Amino acid sequence: MHDLPQQLANGLILGAMYGLIAIGYTMVYGIVQLINFAHGEIFMIGGFGALTAWLLLPSGTSIALALPLMLLLGMACSVLVGMGAERFAYRPLRGGPRLAPLITAIGLSIALQQAIWAFYPDAKKARPFPQFGGDPIDLGAFSIQRGELFLITAAPLCMIVLALFVSKSRTGRAMQATSQDPDTAKLMGINTDRIIVTAFAIGAAFAAIAAIAHGLKYGQVDFKMGFIAGLKAFTAAVLGGIGNIYGAMIGGLVLGFTEAMATAYIEYIPGMELFGGGAWKDVWAFVLLILVLLLRPQGLLGERVTDRA
């Protein structure tokens, strides 16, 4: 247990990233009860958008200077795709059988992934993402990579902004109202269509931020990266209680910690020597999801989700 602080830090960073993606799932789910499987791909597209911005800049630009522009373009791409998906794929199916939008979401997810694979230059394999140079910052008990600093600042900032937006702004409160009861909200004069688009847009923007963090952390973006990340983020959303925005972040952190702990320490449990290490971390995340569904299906923060179907 010598490197526990380091593992905790790793878990925190990983968890913050999952949490950021999970917000997209949870907001959309809270309002339209739809699992947007394509969210993982929206995340991935944000990463490629940011990479595009970097490639458009003259070579030699400092990454710190480029970052705002990368954020902007990444978010723009994600938001555009997210809103487009809502408008042209999901909206026509609203009010129909529940299976239809789920299948659309799958098709969309495959199509987006393949579109990047086929049309983005050299995207058939992972593309390198710009890096902050320099040594890891040593904080005594543990150290963090410079690239991870971005996430450590961005994630809390995003959460505060989002919390303020949802609780204080007019649109945010309309969003809460819609998620509680869409029909009544409509009767109260809320344009629910606009609220739904807004939820998709906010989720996509956060996913783009997470994608840049992902790129900075791992040094590459990959057309496949949305699949597992999306799955994990959904797990995080369920962990925290789906539909609950704060829950998504907390769920992300719990999932991140679990993964870090499982990767580092499971092999020390007698009888589990062979199940440690990075190869099994996805399996443990999945086991955690099953356990949560078994023991506390409403999630850590969630109230019992009433069936509105």
* Residues engaged in binding other proteins (CB under 8 A): 29, 33-35, 37, 89, 92-93, 95-104, 106-115, 117-118, 227-228, 231, 234-235, 238, 274-275, 277, 279-280, 282-283, 286, 289-290, 293-294, 297, 305, 307, 309
Q: Quick one: 34 or 75, whose CB is closer to other proteins?
A: 34
Angle, helices 192-218/4-32, rounded to nearest 10 degrees: 160
Q: With respect to other proteins, which residue has the nearer C-beta, 104 or 178?
A: 104
CB of 289 to other proteins, least distance (A): 6
Which of residues 160 and 272 has its CB atom nearest to other proteins in the complex?
A: 272
CB of 111 to other proteins, least distance (A): 3
H/E stretch holding 143 reads strand 143-144
Least separation in angstroms between CB 50 and other proteins? 23
Residue 272 near residue 36 (C-beta atoms within 8 A):
no
Residue type, 36: N
> How far apart are CB 164 and other proteins at their closest, in Å?
29
Q: Smallest gap, in angstroms, from Cβ of residue 112 to other proteins?
A: 7
- Residue 3 in 3-state DSSP? coil
Structure-token match 């290490």, residue found: 277
Q: Where are the beta strands (DSSP E) in 117-162?
A: 127-128, 137-138, 143-144
Residues 6+ apart with CB under 8 A from 119: none
Contact residues for 208 (Cβ-Cβ < 8 A; gap 6+): 42, 43, 45, 46, 47, 49, 50, 71, 74, 75, 77, 78, 79
User: Residue 248 corresponds to which tokens in the numbers above?
Assistant: 């998504």
Return the number of the residue (223 or 246) whose C-beta is nearest other proteins: 223
In angstroms, give the least distance from the CB of 55 to other proteins.
23
Q: Which is nearer to other proteins, 104 or 145 (CB)?
A: 104
- Shortest distance (Å) from residue 228 CB to other proteins: 7
CA distance 137 to 106: 41
**Other CB atoms closer than 10 Å to residue 125's CB: what's the count?**
10
- Which residue number, 156 or 278, has a Cβ lying nearer to other proteins? 278
Task: Output 109 or 198, the one with its CB closest to other proteins.
Answer: 109
